[in-house]
Chain A
Amino acid sequence: MALDGLLANLALGLSVAATMQNLMWCLMGAVIGTAVGVLPGVGPVATMALLLPVTYVLPADGALIMLAGIYYGAQYGGSTTAILVNLPGESSSVVTTLDGYQMARQGRAGPALAIAAIGSFFAGCVATILIAAAAPPLTRLAQQFAPADYFSLMVLGLVFSIVLARGSIIKAFGMVFLGMLLGLVGTDVNTGNLRFTFGISDLFDGLGFVPLAMGIFGIAEIIANLTNPERRDLVSSKVSNLWPSREDFRRSRGPILRGTILGSVLGLLPGGGAVLGSFSAYTLEKKVSKTPEKFGTGMIEGVAGPESANNAAAQTSFIPMLTLGIPSNAVMAMMIGGMMIHGIIPGPQVMEQRPGLFWGMIVSMWFGNLMLIILNLPMIGLWVRLLLVPYRLLAIAVLFFCCIGVYSLNNSANEVLFIAGFGLLGYLLIKLDCEPAPLLLGFILGPMMEVYMRRAMLLSRGDPWVFFQRPLSFAFLVLAGILLLLVVLPAIRKGRETAFQE
């Protein structure tokens, strides 16, 4: 019966995703995603932020299909740059540079690119099925959530983002608190009181998520990247001999499978997503390999595992967003922004109220992956040419797109001033080695948590024990507590540090 339901849902999704229009938006997302993936210093978060205002004129399903395509498309494109230029096009392909670039130097760029794309495709297909299978039961569970449960789930989400953040745990705590404080700026929705507005009327509605993300991820990255002039050692702009040998396939089979599983699981975690997936998969491949010392010299396993994992994780990170309405990373926060623009409140009700949109988006991911493998393998030469644009010009173009993108949100020049400020804040955070992802999550979840906390307290008539009396809420809080204990214990902290260093 469950299978029947699943098939019916997928058929509904197919009818939405396979319309000419939506296929076009999907292709558009895949193309844009590949382009920003290939270009170092331009990430999916900033790109989606730029395109949010544009999606306003699209129908809701087309807009979300395109935005989703940008994210997983970027995972494909990122590996191209990593393999050919030894620069991560995307932060999730950092580890791909280690063995991928070595393979390219040995004249095996073709097989490396092909395995990365095939691994990504396989992972994308599995993750799509996983989303389709996991969404209905999770949604049913979420419908039983009371305010206290939601509050505790968000606490757990923030704890996850702290635990999984790179670098110092204490700094990650600070980033979450700072993000929540920034999220409180504006009018308190319950009482109408103003908070932290300094009498500036532009702040009465709160700080915008798009200017914040664009400043911290877009502008700050430009400043940081201009500081260290990059050197692009393009191995060769002509990639010949694309098809991997039988031996390559045999060696990649295991890593692709393991990477897909590992990535799918890690993608579910808040604060996880593509970067964590690829790093962990590389570590795992090194551990299970009989010749770990050879990693870094052009092992195809070191490309296959991480590239499958980052694509799987990119896609499964949609699950918490689609079913619970909770973003697990900055990109999902953007997706939520995209839904809100079209008047859709993210949460478990989306699947019931807008089944066409929900399933259409999921099925479009499969189409998107199919398009991407075609876009990325036969047309690789085209993308490589993008790399000939030097960063000194690219930076100026990105800066302009950030400015005009934020301006177009509300035709407000003042919001452009905000991104100048957030850009400096973001640069300061880079200098202080504070990862901005937990800040962004705190910014989104902070105000939501306040709403749920108030509802829970009202329902319990002021009794704070409500958070421990409901079984679900209690379970989330206990899990959060255990996680925090684990990272505070020194032995495990050491393990975590080595995992991130590798």
Chain B
Amino acid sequence: MRIRNRQDFATGLFFIAIGLGAYWIAADYPMGTAMRPDTGVLPKALAWLLAGTGIILAGKSLVADGPHLTEWAWRPALMITLATIAFALLVDRVGLAVTMLVSMTLAAFGTPETRWREYALFAIFMVVLGVVVFILGLGMPIRILPQGLSWR
């Protein structure tokens, strides 16, 4: 047995995994009656449909040729995700200015094209813009600076 279409095969496995997982979680949701369908009807039906779609897709990928999976872009995927998580974890704790600097710098590591001097100027511009527009202008309830350096 040879996988002739890796992209479809991977997609099929992905659908099957989500479908089975959803069914497993939804297994004890009540089904109700035909007149009053309960919580479990649609989740279970969709779980089956999704898994079924995955099986068809994976099956087809063994028969028909198709594209391979292209290289994963680990660096931007990792750094952009980290930058987003950093924003979420920091924003309520250390204020907007520090949050932005940390998050944006992580994102800047996401591409080898970053020119650091240009980035430094840009980062200062963005922090000023962010504080002026979102805190001073729109009045969002976020601190500007960390508590120790108190200013709002």
- Which chain B residues in 44-97 approach chain A with CB under 8 Å? 46-47, 49-50, 53-54, 56-57, 60, 67, 69-70, 72-73, 76-77, 80-81, 83-85, 87-89, 91-92
The answer, yes or no, to whether A203 is at the interface (CB within 8 Å) is no
Q: List, in ascending order, chain B residues with CB within 8 A of A297's CB.
A: none
Contact flags A422-436 to B (C-beta < 8 A → 1, else 0): 011001100111100
Residue of B nearest to A225 (CB): B76
The answer, yes or no, to whether B43 is at the interface (CB within 8 Å) is yes
Selected contact of B42 from candidates A178, A184, A222, A461, CB within 8 Å: A184
Roughly how many angstroms separate A411 CA and B54 CA in the complex, as a whole number?
38
Docked-complex contact B46 and A223, CB < 8 angstroms: no
Contact flags B13-46 to A (C-beta < 8 A → 1, else 0): 0110011001001100110011111110011001
Number of contacting residues on B, CB 8 A? 68
Selected contact of B103 from candidates A178, A224, A227, A403, CB within 8 Å: A403
Main secondary structure of the interface of A (DSSP, over half): helix
Q: List, in ascending order, chain B residues with CB within 8 A of A424's CB.
A: 77, 81
Q: List, in ascending order, chain B residues with CB within 8 A of A413's CB.
A: 88-89, 91-92
**Min distance, Cβ B138 to any Cβ of chain A, angstroms:** 7
**Min distance, Cβ B95 to any Cβ of chain A, angstroms:** 13
Q: List, in ascending order, chain B residues with CB within 8 A of A184's CB.
A: 42-43, 46
Q: List, in ascending order, chain B residues with CB within 8 A of A446's CB.
A: 42, 46
Selected contact of A229 from candidates B42, B46, B111, CB within 8 Å: B111
Docked-complex contact A174 and B11, CB < 8 angstroms: yes
**Min distance, Cβ B122 to any Cβ of chain A, angstroms:** 5
Docked-complex contact A400 and B100, CB < 8 angstroms: yes
Main secondary structure of the interface of B (DSSP, over half): helix
The answer, yes or no, to whether A417 is at the interface (CB within 8 Å) is yes
Roughly how many angstroms separate A219 CA and B77 CA in the complex, as a whole number?
9
Docked-complex contact B107 and A195, CB < 8 angstroms: no
The answer, yes or no, to whether B1 is at the interface (CB within 8 Å) is no
**CB contact under 8 A between A193 and B30, given known A226-B80, A458-B35:** yes
The answer, yes or no, to whether A217 is at the interface (CB within 8 Å) is no
**Interface, chain A (partner B; CB < 8 A):** 54, 168, 170-171, 173-174, 177-178, 180-181, 184, 188, 190-191, 193, 195-196, 219, 222-224, 226-227, 229, 390, 392-393, 395-397, 399-400, 402-404, 407-408, 411, 413-414, 416-417, 419-420, 423-424, 427-428, 431-434, 446, 450, 453-454, 457-458, 461-464
Query: What are 27 A-to-B residue pairs whose CB atoms are below 8 Å?
Result: A170-B53, A170-B57, A171-B8, A174-B11, A174-B54, A184-B46, A193-B39, A222-B80, A223-B77, A226-B111, A229-B111, A393-B119, A395-B107, A395-B111, A396-B104, A399-B83, A400-B130, A411-B140, A414-B88, A420-B84, A420-B88, A423-B80, A428-B14, A432-B10, A433-B7, A450-B42, A458-B36
8 cross-chain pairs, A with B, having the tightest CB-CB distances, nearest first: A462-B35, A462-B34, A416-B88, A227-B73, A226-B76, A420-B84, A193-B39, A177-B50
